Structure 1
Amino acid sequence: MPEPGTCGNNLPESHDGEKDLNRHPTDNDTLHEQTRPEKSEQPEGEAEEKGETPNVKVEKPFSIYTKREKWLIVGLAAFGGLFSPLTANIYFPAIPTIAKAFGKSIELINVTVTVYMVLQGLSPMVWGTIADRIGRRPIFVACLFILSLSCVGLALVPTNAYWLLVLLRAVQAAGSASTIALGAGVVGDIATPAERGGFFGLYNVGPMVGPSIGPIVGGALAGHLGWRSIFWFMCIAAGLCCVFIFLIFPETLRALVGDGSIPPPAYARAPIPILGRNKEYMSAELPPKKRFQNPLKLFLIPEIIIPLIFSSVVFAVLYGFTTPMSTLFMEAYPFLNETDIGLCYLANGGGMLFGSTISGKLLDKDYQRLKRSLMKKAAADPEKYANPEDVTKSENWPVERARLRTVPIYIGLMAVVCCGYGWCLQEKVSIAGPLLLQLLVGFLVTGSMTSIQTLIVDLAPGQSSAVTACNNVVRCLVGAALVSVVELILSAIGPGWTYVLFGALVAAFTPLLFLVMHMGPRWRARRRAKAQSRAN
């Protein structure tokens, strides 16, 4: 759906971030922008008398980009979003080697991990908010450039400069972490609510697969070429992505380019504009400037913060699977070497990849299924809805139910898988058992995270990067907290009861989803009423 500031006289405009969040971003916004009636130069009857075809309304698409171009844009965004988790996880296998090289304890080297996670959570709040104002493309390029330079510094850092290692890891996080928020903003710019789930499924491939392939790549590089090769690899990969985005990635921020047909400012133009070249519609006016919207206010909106809290718990439990995995597998299956352990991460990554591909399509189908169901009810009440299609234009359209109603199924299955996984490791059953359960966890986590990510973007039009940054802050802080204690829990009660505890944890937070589905429309209605009373 269009963000505030989209061009066109028929479009709903808002210059107040709070007002934008008081109203529900329904398909009404999309349809306003999609349909622009052409002015008829002669009456319809006169045209018919002359044997001519009368002028008809021309439906304007939400975005000028074709379906194929949208997939390419989202694919590039997913490539960029890969670097935040990849940069974090590729480092883990080399920690003992780096500790030995710098002459420091493992605990001190782990400080670089803590610093990375703190900046990973906080930096998107800054970059995401700036991107919602000046554009996605320049911030994407800047972040990847910073990441590339920091990797060069890390590859060359002298082993007697521990402080520089910590500092450069912080800079590395500041560059890489924000790419996730930027990619989510791009999806919000070019995709309608009805198709957004599928695009988020593809987009989540990068952020979700990174934690699984990172340890494999990092272990192979550190074992054969030394720990510095990890940072040279990251420099080359981030540099290539930066070049691709700089050359062909179009600016998508609707406050700057509308549906994509308004030329962006010079600093946001792609040197090789191969995407969106066949512009069938040209917008006539530039959108008005948007007022600054404080992203911290998003934490005060219950239908946003509650899903963020739930998402952070699921994310933390995912890291409860991946972080101690190497230790647990080496204890349960001592015949495995370090390379074998690294390959075991592929099970979780495969589940995430499969989940990213499938869950987005399922989310779009469920959205359409709920829409058809409500349209049937609307058809039975013609006094309220002259056109059944208007159900998605209603302020009471239950977007929370459209996005979240399948998540409890994912979480119920995830709780069962958690319990089985822990006891498989404790009883040392065939390695195929825990690997299969790792695959299922990857799929189920991706399905639930895609649904929640899509919902929060739906609920914060015009602030898609900022709201994703808020999501990143909560997830990283809660994830860091669980990672810091997971080894203590495993030592105290063993893997069997530890993962029973994790399963109970996600199950205990599931009622929050039903609360949001039930109360979300009411909360929005109350804020609308308060906003209207203040306006009057």
Structure 2
Amino acid sequence: MGKQQIAVMPNAYMLRDEHEKSNRAGEDRLGLDLMDNNDTEISSPHSEVDNESNLNTVPYSRFSHNQKMLLVVQCAFTGFFSTVAGSIYYPVLTIIERKFNITEESANFTIVVYFIFQGLAPSIMGGLADTFGRRPVVLWAILTYFCACIGLACSHDYAQILALRCLQAAGISPVIAINSGIMGDVTTKVERGGYVGLVAGFQVVGTAFGALIGAGLSSRWGWRAIFWFLAIGSGICLVFSTLLLPETKRTLVGNGSVTPKSFLNRSLILHVDAVRKTLHLDEPDLDALEPRTKVDFLASLKILHIREIDILLSIAGLQFSTWTTHQTALTTVLSKKYKLSVSKIGLCFLPAGISTLTSIISAGRYLNWSYRTRKVKYNRWIKEQELQLMEQYKGDQNKVAESIHSNSHYTFNLVEARLHPAFVTLLFSSIGFTAFGWCISVKAPLAAVLCTSAFASLFSNCILTFSTTLIVDLFPSKASTATGCLNLFRCLLSAIFIAALTKMVEKMKYGGVFTFLSAMTSSSSFLLFYLLKNGKQLSFDRIRANDKSAERSAGKNSEKVPT
């Protein structure tokens, strides 16, 4: 009887993360082409059965582990040039200030405009990547960045630097959001945390060690060398991406087995026999193709009406902007208070860089372990609940299925699985940044400043891995657009804080500034508590509302059909 029951009934407890296609087809219900993809775990057990026979024979992704790791390397390589462009510039801020005879505030403004365009561009380009494919947008982004870096290396006045920094950021910044989309295309929830963590970890190498690279280059060859380095590196990246980066957008290639129609989406690597065999290009899984969506440049803004997303953006945005403000402040302090040379300033970013890299990679691995552990416990629990319901309803499978489908009590809490460690990271990073600010204010020994910087960095960027992974879980087929929203919020907040940094320091000193920023960050833990407590119910209610809206729309359409 047990086996027959499992074969017939909607099984909410079975792992279906490898087969997310059936849920993605319903994303249009939200009216924004963005819908919670967690239907199989939150509110739609019946959707699993509708496509079960087909999905059991068609793997979610045809990409092998080695091919996924190659994608990780490619995403990390392109993402590196997005992140390094910001931090590689920090050690030469005072040099730029003297070279062009500008104020400290004007020098900081070259960072501000970079963050502004770094936030705005992915919101637009992410929508293009979700419609026309990841590959062509990535290639365009790298090409634009390559040209901007050459222009910056040849610039001769402050206005040119300001304008080209805008172009540089607008060009390369979309790849961060698109990388999340690529990982969402080829990975399942059970493995996604690890892959996203690896990509984020290697991307953050640019942020973590950019200042060290910039200091070394500028002290040996001058400040223009940092832009020549970026131009040469991005040129190499452009060649490799053109040759090796495959298209992964599921509306174009399904699970990777469908050859894209446009030559812009076709990589030369698809002509390699071993790759063709692994991806089954000669026998494509056409059923894995998903419906194409229209371009919506405002899609990143439209998801702001979702309460869970708003809370997540606030928490991650405050944490990231505090960290970037600390990076900017560290450069000025080491130069003007501690009178260090450019090369020594670069070395002083090393402790924070190592801590940042360690934290992001570790956070991804922890998310994988946490998800698997909680999922196993959930599967065991839901089986017990199903048996109890079978006894309660005297074997009526329809009533059992309806009970599981209509009650959030029986759904897997994905929000908690991804965000539960964030309390600890928020607390310790706030302590670290507060200590960092006061160490600067009292001009404590340099070792104390660097240790507090490293301690704060060890915990501050974990929330980015947590939040990015959750967003990709919720919107895998629109991951570039959804992640672009996160990028927009955190970059604009960073721009605001950095623009105000000089004035804030004049009024509050560094201790007061970072106490204030840390207080804002730690206060977001109340929002986190609300999200952990109510996130599952909020998602459940939203999806139920979307289901009812879709049913009403279907009813109206059927009435219009002539008889």
TM-score, L = length of structure 2: 0.82
Deviation at 1:338, TM superposition (A): 2.7
- In structure 2, the CA distance between the partners of 1:477 and 1:288, relative to structure 1 (3 Å rule), is closer
Aligned to 1:341: 345
**Residue 75 of structure 2 is aligned with which of 74, 77, 94?**
77
| Residue 350 (structure 1) aligned with residue 350 (structure 2) | no
Task: State the alpha-carbon separation in 2 of the partners of residues 531 and 393 from structure 1.
Answer: 14
Aligned to 2:292: 289
- In structure 2, the CA distance between the partners of 1:33 and 1:422, relative to structure 1 (3 Å rule), is farther
- In structure 2, the CA distance between the partners of 1:413 and 1:102, relative to structure 1 (3 Å rule), is closer
Task: State the alpha-carbon separation in 2 of the partners of residues 433 and 95 from structure 1.
Answer: 23
**Residue 327 of structure 1 is aligned with which of 325, 328, 332?**
332
Q: Deviations over 1:352-410 (max 9, x none)?
A: 1111221101011111222123223223223459999xx99997321111111111111
**Counterpart residue identity of residue 502, structure 2:** E
Q: Deviations over 1:199-244 (max 9, x none)?
A: 1111112442322322222222223212222221111111111111
Aligned to 1:172: 168
Task: State the alpha-carbon separation in 2 of the partners of residues 162 and 423 from structure 1.
Answer: 33
The aligned runs of 1:60-71 (5 Å cut-off) are 60-71=58-69
Q: Deviations over 1:267-313 (max 9, x none)?
A: 21111235564135730345432244533211111111210111110
**Residue 195 of structure 2 is aligned with which of 186, 193, 199?**
199
Identity value in percent? 28
Task: State the alpha-carbon separation in 2 of the partners of residues 427 and 392 from structure 1.
Answer: 60
Q: Deviations over 1:451-487 (max 9, x none)?
A: 0111112122321001111111100111111112233
| 2:34–2:475 contact (8 Å) kept in structure 1 | yes
**Counterpart residue identity of residue 209, structure 1:** V
Task: State the alpha-carbon separation in 2 of the partners of residues 2 and 128 from structure 1.
Answer: 24
**Residue 233 of structure 2 is aligned with which of 234, 237, 260?**
237
**Counterpart residue identity of residue 369, structure 1:** T
- In structure 2, the CA distance between the partners of 1:419 and 1:104, relative to structure 1 (3 Å rule), is closer
Deviation at 1:23, TM superposition (A): 4.3
- In structure 2, the CA distance between the partners of 1:276 and 1:194, relative to structure 1 (3 Å rule), is farther
| Residue 25 (structure 1) aligned with residue 58 (structure 2) | no
**Residue 373 of structure 2 is aligned with which of 352, 369, 373?**
369
The aligned runs of 1:442-453 (5 Å cut-off) are 442-453=457-468
| Residue 16 (structure 1) aligned with residue 24 (structure 2) | no
The aligned runs of 1:221-236 (5 Å cut-off) are 221-236=217-232
Deviation at 1:108, TM superposition (A): 4.3
Task: State the alpha-carbon separation in 2 of the partners of residues 366 and 226 from structure 1.
Answer: 47
Equivalent position SS for 1:341: helix
**Counterpart residue identity of residue 264, structure 2:** Y
| 2:19–2:60 contact (8 Å) kept in structure 1 | no
| 1:64–1:260 contact (8 Å) kept in structure 2 | yes
| 2:110–2:161 contact (8 Å) kept in structure 1 | yes
- In structure 2, the CA distance between the partners of 1:108 and 1:502, relative to structure 1 (3 Å rule), is closer
| 2:135–2:264 contact (8 Å) kept in structure 1 | no
Equivalent position SS for 1:323: helix
**Residue 264 of structure 2 is aligned with which of 259, 267, 275?**
267
- In structure 2, the CA distance between the partners of 1:414 and 1:164, relative to structure 1 (3 Å rule), is closer
Deviation at 1:435, TM superposition (A): 2.3
Q: Which moved more, 1:85-94 or 1:337-346?
A: 85-94
| Residue 380 (structure 1) aligned with residue 396 (structure 2) | no
Equivalent position SS for 1:272: helix
Aligned to 2:7: none
Equivalent position SS for 1:16: helix
Which structure features the higher share of helix residues? 2
Aligned length: 510
Q: Deviations over 1:100-137 (max 9, x none)?
A: 54455554454433332221111111111100001111
Aligned to 1:142: 140
Task: State the alpha-carbon separation in 1 of the partners of residues 218 and 533 from structure 2.
Answer: 51
Task: State the alpha-carbon separation in 2 of the partners of residues 360 and 105 from structure 1.
Answer: 41
**Residue 419 of structure 1 is aligned with which of 429, 434, 445?**
434
- In structure 2, the CA distance between the partners of 1:58 and 1:122, relative to structure 1 (3 Å rule), is closer
Equivalent position SS for 1:282: coil
Q: Which moved more, 1:348-357 or 1:198-207?
A: 198-207
Aligned to 2:5: none
- In structure 2, the CA distance between the partners of 1:154 and 1:393, relative to structure 1 (3 Å rule), is farther
Q: Deviations over 1:401-444 (max 9, x none)?
A: 11111111111222222233334444555433332332222221
Please list every run of 5 or more consecutive structure 2 residues that lacks an aligned counterpart in the other structure: 1-16, 391-396, 553-563
| Residue 218 (structure 1) aligned with residue 219 (structure 2) | no
- In structure 2, the CA distance between the partners of 1:11 and 1:176, relative to structure 1 (3 Å rule), is closer
| 2:121–2:173 contact (8 Å) kept in structure 1 | yes
| 1:247–1:272 contact (8 Å) kept in structure 2 | yes
Please list every run of 5 or more consecutive structure 1 residues that lacks an aligned counterpart in the other structure: 39-56
| 1:255–1:289 contact (8 Å) kept in structure 2 | yes
The aligned runs of 1:385-424 (5 Å cut-off) are 396-424=411-439
Task: State the alpha-carbon separation in 1 of the partners of residues 56 and 541 from structure 2.
Answer: 37
Equivalent position SS for 2:477: coil
**Counterpart residue identity of residue 181, structure 2:** G
Aligned to 1:300: 305
**Residue 502 of structure 1 is aligned with which of 517, 524, 529?**
517
**Counterpart residue identity of residue 181, structure 1:** A
Deviation at 1:340, TM superposition (A): 1.4
- In structure 2, the CA distance between the partners of 1:106 and 1:262, relative to structure 1 (3 Å rule), is same
- In structure 2, the CA distance between the partners of 1:236 and 1:12, relative to structure 1 (3 Å rule), is closer
Q: Which moved more, 1:243-252 or 1:322-331?
A: 322-331
Q: Deviations over 1:140-162 (max 9, x none)?
A: 111001100111122223x2x55
User: CA RMSD of the aligned region, Å?
Assistant: 3.2
| 1:148–1:239 contact (8 Å) kept in structure 2 | yes
| 2:181–2:476 contact (8 Å) kept in structure 1 | no
TM-score, L = length of structure 1: 0.86
| Residue 186 (structure 1) aligned with residue 189 (structure 2) | no
- In structure 2, the CA distance between the partners of 1:472 and 1:439, relative to structure 1 (3 Å rule), is same
